[in-house]
Amino acid sequence: MREENYLYFANAGGNDTDKDMAMFPASTFRGAVTMSSTTTEFFFAPQDGTGTTANGVLLTHSDIASGSSETATMVIGDNNQHKLVMEEFAQLASGNRKNTTNFTVIRDLNTVPANEGAISATGISDVSAVAITID
């Protein structure tokens, strides 16, 4: 058995169109970069085996700038939502779970099947949207 975590992402679609879901071995993770005040993209080695293009999962999260007070609006240098999401990702991706299936839900926003909802309620609750790019 290969003792490796497999990282699962699913967007809010119905798991019925292209790239509604993706799963990557944790060992294929290449890094993550902030893209905007509310998005961070996680990159993986491409599934097509070329090694020359990227597969990316863009995660949307909250922005402290959206606070309701003037102070929160203007003093936003200490926005750590990105770091929070990265840290939670690291914890999940590196979770050492012996004698389990190592199936690791990073974020599952899927709502089907209707009588069951998402396949797992676990994952990073701070993430509100998932966009998957497979080049």
Binding-site ranges for other proteins (CB under 8 A)? 27, 29-37, 41, 43, 45-46, 50-56, 58, 63, 65, 68, 73-83, 86-87, 89-91, 93-94, 96, 131, 133, 135
Question: Distance (Å, rounded) from C-alpha 14 to C-alpha 11?
Answer: 8
Q: Min. distance of Cβ 51 from other proteins in angstroms?
A: 6
Q: Min. distance of Cβ 40 from other proteins in angstroms?
A: 8
Question: Distance (Å, rounded) from C-alpha 88 to C-alpha 105?
Answer: 11
Query: Across-strand partners of 25?
Result: 6
> 33 near 129, Cβ under 8 Å?
no
**Closer residue to other proteins, CB minimum distance, 82 or 107:** 82
**Closer residue to other proteins, CB minimum distance, 47 or 112:** 47
**Closer residue to other proteins, CB minimum distance, 15 or 79:** 79
CA dihedral 1, 23, 82, 91 (to 10 degrees): -20
